[in-house]
Amino acid sequence: MATATAALASARRSALTVHRTIPSIRAVRNALPPSLSVGYVPTMGALHDGHLSLVKEARSKNDVVVASIFVNPTQFRAGEDLDKYPRQFEQDADLLADLGVDHLFAPDNDTMYGRNHVTFVDPTSFDKTSEGSSRPGHFRGVATVVTKLFNIVKPTNAYFGQKDAAQCVLIRRIVEDLNMDVSVNVQNTVREDNGLAMSSRNAYLSREERKAAPIVFKSLCAAKDLFLEAAATGTLPVPAKALSTAVREVLGTEPLVSEIQYVSVDDRETMQPLTEVVSKGAIISLACQVGSVRLIDNIMI
């Protein structure tokens, strides 16, 4: 039985071409007729249903689908979870093959950042966002690796999940500022039945922490309900502080929420903080510690 299962997995992967080098994936891309669309899903692996929803969308809308798996070291600070970040390449490759991905780019650190690498893309204003302030240098790493990957893969369409809200705004900013010929598609956050946003880092949660984690989305929903009530009763605008207080109050009911790093009410397009929210809405995002695990989430209102 084990031999048969291994053979089936091997057969699936045979339809998926894995590229470890930049010349390899570039040769495939350059050989494609200009009329074909290329959908691209960049990931750091440890794939879950959120990633897979992006792959399905790419597969349904493009002639050729490329995914990548690369745990980017430049977006991690010292002391963060780079070394323990979940890695399950064989399982991920099987999942991608099952969904019809044509090519998987899986470089190592030396391929992406050579010995003499000195160039970075530095989106300075993003260090002033709530997530940027809590993780200095993170968005510099994200901007650099996404720019490099776009230059390598040259996708027609690229797909990202809304869970990383500031990252999505940043990537759209990069594409516009650097005049890149790629369409950025952001898909809704995929959630577990209890509301917990799917994330590779959910693997860190203990059983008790996982039971407590849905409080994160519940807190965001409380702020959304407050906004919707104001909209329905004609009492807009809503002070941003009232919305953030609603989030904090709900988080405060869960003993396992050991730290609230930030609750931010921002403009949807710029991630700049708002003092009040009018009818066009906003994005409310947060980061908190549930037990030992840092979770982020957001909601559009």
Nearest to residue 156, comparing CAs of 256, 63, 25?
63
Q: Is the dihedral of CA 201, 207, 209, 211 positive or negative?
A: positive
* DSSP code string of 204-235: G--HHHHHHTTHHHHHHHHHHHHHHHHHHHT-
Overall residue count recorded for the chain in this entry: 301
Instruction: Say what the alpha-carbon torsion angle 122, 58, 201, 132 is, to the nearest 10 degrees.
Output: 20
User: If you search the block for the tokens 């990069």, which residue do you land on?
Assistant: 174
138 part of the active site:
no
* DSSP code string of 32-55: S-TTS-EEEEEE-S---HHHHHHH
Burial 211-242 (b: 16+ CB within 10 A, else e): ebbbbbbbbbbbbbebbeebbeeeeeebebee
Using alpha carbons, list the distances in angstroms from residue 254 to 129, 219, 292: 26, 10, 14
Catalytic residue among 19, 51, 103, 138: 51
What is the set of active-site residues?
Answer: 51
